[in-house]
């Protein structure tokens, strides 16, 4: 059964009030792939009465007040994607489509959705001295990656923590299941939630024992101070090693508690075993088809986190740099459930994760102490301490494809080719099986560029590993007697990249890959990534050397055209 989204559904459960109302910028899709749905299910599972208001009309009170006022708190999320990324292309043009909106037209998610929804609640839900309005808690990707001062490409300026801009009460960052449960319990027992890990709030004074980040005023004044701030923020994002942080904004202080511990495998399995409908709520489904369902309905998520640390990606800051994986039994049980759905046609569309071939192994040192501060797990080379072993994922894929009713299991998510090449014991066999059983004609790889200094700015492996992987892929394809191809993903206008670099990338693509790529994205400086820091400061934060940054839309477009023009 879906969580209620209409007053009739609340009444049908015999409830006179909800404990928690979640507001989101996506349509309500009840799926383990959708953060708001997971949070709602986790709360409901222990007995909280939870309702969801998805994509509320922001022009009046009707939508936002339709479920009344929650007894405990409002939870506000911009949805699965930062609203500015969802609403604008890398060249600043409005996006016409939205995969999370019924009918696919991008007309429901406001810019800066987290701030707009918080204001909407405050405008129409007023407390009284006897009965103060319930607190508003921010969560999801947009809030999580904007939780401290950050560069915002759409303003081309540093913005304050979104908690101050939205004037909400709390912010829960990262993967929020345990923090949100503890938060609800704290409010229920009239306890202060301020001690909870994974939580931010604003106070009059800094918190004792916490590391003080350069203040907002300092980082606006000095790019060097912003760089120092970002390094400290980044290095304090793992639960095993992070300290609490504070940041001053004029006469107030953002208090950033250390991250919540990662979920144990048992708990992760429990979260994925909750009773998701894996569909859009009928209230939204009747408004039109929701494209995201095409890719998530028959997909299974296997793990969280990524230690790839590509500089343009924020997954490490949001989900963590430690990979945590579900047990094979839990994944198999979910896949088995999929086979019982009437619409299942025998195909599991994706065995999915941020980087799919990180399943089943982690660095023992990192598990004890947190990630190294002075080196990365995969760049410039795969760290020898990482026990790379693709046999776990291989066995998992075998289990899934042998399930009754399953005809095909595809791996559509990204695969790190350098990691695969590093696995002398199982890499080749794994690739052979993936090629034989789990590729639907095209396998995606994301080299992103060919030029050494651009790859260095991205934190990506050199092109020799791509070429070696390519050779192995085609050998495996031939051995399997199949006609399969590689689809390459590239980025134009990343910090460090000039037009001359794009010309060299074109030559590389033609001479070494034998094609001209179609999958070319223009770099978008999204909040809280190292690449955005480079974009803003025009300096390499690891070497302090100046770095070329293409900031003109025309120049960015030209970079892309150099690679794509026929
Ligand atoms: S020892 Fe190597 S694999 Fe482990 S955290 Fe450090 S860099 Fe990563």
Q: Which residues constitute the domain of residue 515?
A: 441-566
Are residue 391 and residue 497 in the same domain, yes or no? Answer: no
Are residue 373 and residue 521 in the same domain, yes or no? Answer: no
- CA–CA distances in Å: residue 429 to residues 103, 172, 220, 420, 441: 43, 42, 52, 10, 19
Are residue 14 and residue 128 in the same domain, yes or no? Answer: yes
CATH classification of the domain holding 24: 3.40.50.280
CATH classification of the domain holding 388: 3.30.750.210
Are residue 474 and residue 341 in the same domain, yes or no? Answer: no
**pLDDT 10s digits, 79-95:** 999 999 999 999 999 99
**pLDDT 10s digits, 178-198:** 999 999 999 999 999 999 999
Ligand 1 centre distance from Cα of residue 411 (Å): 26
**Per-residue pLDDT at 492:** 98
**Per-residue pLDDT at 333:** 98
In this structure, is residue 501 part of a structural domain?
yes
**pLDDT 10s digits, 490-511:** 999 999 999 999 999 999 999 9
Would you say residue 517 has pLDDT above 90?
no
Ligand 1 centre distance from Cα of residue 369 (Å): 10
Tokens of 188: 């229920």
Torsion of CA 140, 143, 146, 152, to 10 degrees: 90
**pLDDT 10s digits, 543-562:** 999 999 999 999 999 999 99
Ligand 1 centre distance from Cα of residue 364 (Å): 8
Average of per-residue pLDDT across 239-258:
98
**pLDDT 10s digits, 203-222:** 999 999 999 999 999 999 99
In this structure, is residue 374 part of a structural domain?
yes
Atom index in ligand 1 nearest the CA of residue 383 equals 2
- Site to substitute for ligand 1 among 322, 362, 372, most atoms within 8 A of C-beta: 372
In this structure, is residue 293 part of a structural domain?
no
Ligand 1 centre distance from Cα of residue 367 (Å): 10
Q: Cα–Cα distance between 306 and 163 in angstroms, integer?
A: 26
Write the DSSP string, 241-294: TPPPEEEEETTEEEEEPPPPPPPPHHHHHHHHTS----EE-HHHHTT---THHH
Average of per-residue pLDDT across 105-118:
96
- Site to substitute for ligand 1 among 367, 377, 378, most atoms within 8 A of C-beta: 377
Ligand 1 centre distance from Cα of residue 322 (Å): 10
**Per-residue pLDDT at 518:** 85
In this structure, is residue 255 part of a structural domain?
no
Q: What's the total number of domains in the chain? A: 3
Would you say residue 262 has pLDDT above 90?
yes
Are residue 332 and residue 457 in the same domain, yes or no? Answer: no
Ligand 1 centre distance from Cα of residue 426 (Å): 21
Are residue 32 and residue 171 in the same domain, yes or no? Answer: yes
Residue nearest to atom 7 of ligand 1 (CA): 377
- Site to substitute for ligand 1 among 371, 387, 389, most atoms within 8 A of C-beta: 371
Would you say residue 74 has pLDDT above 90?
yes
Looking at residue 91, the DSSP 8-state letter turns out to be: T
Mean pLDDT for all residues in the chain: 96
Are residue 65 and residue 192 in the same domain, yes or no? Answer: yes
Are residue 394 and residue 468 in the same domain, yes or no? Answer: no
Are residue 30 and residue 158 in the same domain, yes or no? Answer: yes
Residues with Cβ within 6 A of ligand 1?
363, 365-366, 371-372, 375-377, 383, 385-386
pLDDT above 70 covers what percent of the chain? 100
Atom index in ligand 1 nearest the CA of residue 376 equals 7
Are residue 28 and residue 175 in the same domain, yes or no? Answer: yes
**pLDDT 10s digits, 405-438:** 999 999 988 889 999 999 999 999 999 999 999 9
What pLDDT band is residue 336 in, cutting at 50, 70 and 90? very high
Tokens of 102: 């019924």
Average of per-residue pLDDT across 385-391:
98
């Amino acid at each position: 059964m879906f969580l209620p989204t209409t007053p009739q559904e609340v009444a049908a459960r015999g409830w006179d009030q909800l404990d928690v109302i979640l507001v989101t910028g996506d349509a309500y899709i009840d799926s383990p792939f959708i953060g708001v749905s997971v949070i709602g299910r986790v709360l409901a599972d222990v007995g909280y009465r939870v309702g969801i208001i998805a994509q509320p009309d922001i022009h009046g009170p009707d939508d936002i007040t339709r479920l009344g006022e929650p007894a405990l708190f409002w939870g506000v999320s911009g949805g699965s994607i930062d609203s500015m990324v969802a609403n604008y292309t890398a060249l600043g043009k409005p996006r016409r489509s939205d995969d999370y909106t019924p009918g696919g037209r991008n007309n429901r998610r406001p810019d800066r959705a987290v701030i707009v929804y918080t204001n909407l609640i405050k405008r129409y839900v007023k407390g009284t001295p006897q009965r103060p309005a319930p607190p508003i808690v921010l969560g999801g990707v947009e809030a999580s990656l904007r939780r401290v001062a950050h560069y915002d490409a759409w303003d081309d300026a540093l913005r304050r923590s979104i908690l101050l801009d939205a004037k909400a009460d709390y912010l829960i960052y990262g993967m929020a299941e345990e923090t949100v449960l503890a938060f609800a319990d704290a409010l229920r027992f009239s306890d202060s939630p301020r001690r909870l890990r994974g939580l931010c709030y604003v106070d009059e004074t800094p918190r004792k024992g916490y590391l003080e980040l350069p203040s907002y005023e300092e980082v606006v004044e000095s790019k060097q101070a912003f760089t120092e701030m970002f390094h400290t923020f980044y290095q304090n994002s793992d639960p095993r090693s992070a300290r609490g942080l504070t940041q001053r904004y004029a006469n107030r202080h953002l208090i950033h508690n250390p991250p919540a511990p990662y979920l144990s495998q048992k708990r992760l399995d429990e979260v994925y075993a909750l009773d998701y409908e894996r569909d859009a709520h009928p209230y939204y489904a009747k408004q039109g088809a929701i494209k995201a369902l095409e890719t998530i309905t028959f997909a299974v998520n296997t793990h969280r986190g990524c230690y790839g640390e590509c500089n343009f990606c924020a997954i490490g800051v949001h989900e963590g740099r430690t990979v945590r994986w579900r047990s094979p039994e839990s994944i198999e049980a979910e896949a088995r459930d999929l086979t019982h759905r009437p619409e299942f046609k025998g195909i599991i569309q994706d065995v999915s994760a941020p980087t799919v071939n990180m399943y089943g192994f982690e660095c023992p040192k990192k598990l004890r102490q947190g990630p190294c501060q002075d080196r990365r797990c995969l760049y410039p080379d795969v760290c020898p301490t990482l026990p790379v072993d693709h046999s776990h994922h291989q066995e998992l894929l075998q289990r899934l494809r042998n399930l009754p009713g399953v005809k095909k299991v595809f791996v559509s998510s990204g695969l790190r080719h350098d990691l695969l090449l590093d696995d002398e014991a199982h890499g080749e066999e794994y690739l052979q099986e993936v090629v034989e059983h789990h590729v639907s004609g095209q396998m995606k790889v994301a080299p992103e560029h060919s030029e050494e200094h651009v790859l260095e700015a991205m934190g990506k492996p050199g092109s020799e590993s791509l070429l070696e992987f390519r050779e192995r892929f085609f050998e495996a394809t031939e051995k399997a007697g199949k006609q399969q191809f590689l689809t390459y993903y590239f980025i134009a206008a990343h910090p460090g990249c000039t037009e001359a670099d794009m010309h060299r990338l074109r030559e590389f693509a033609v001479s070494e890959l034998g094609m001209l790529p179609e999958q070319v994205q223009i770099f978008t400086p999204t909040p809280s990534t190292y690449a955005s820091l480079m974009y803003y400061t025009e300096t390499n934060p690891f070497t302090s050397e100046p770095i070329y940054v293409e900031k003109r839309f025309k120049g960015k477009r030209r970079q892309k055209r150099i690679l794509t023009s026929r």
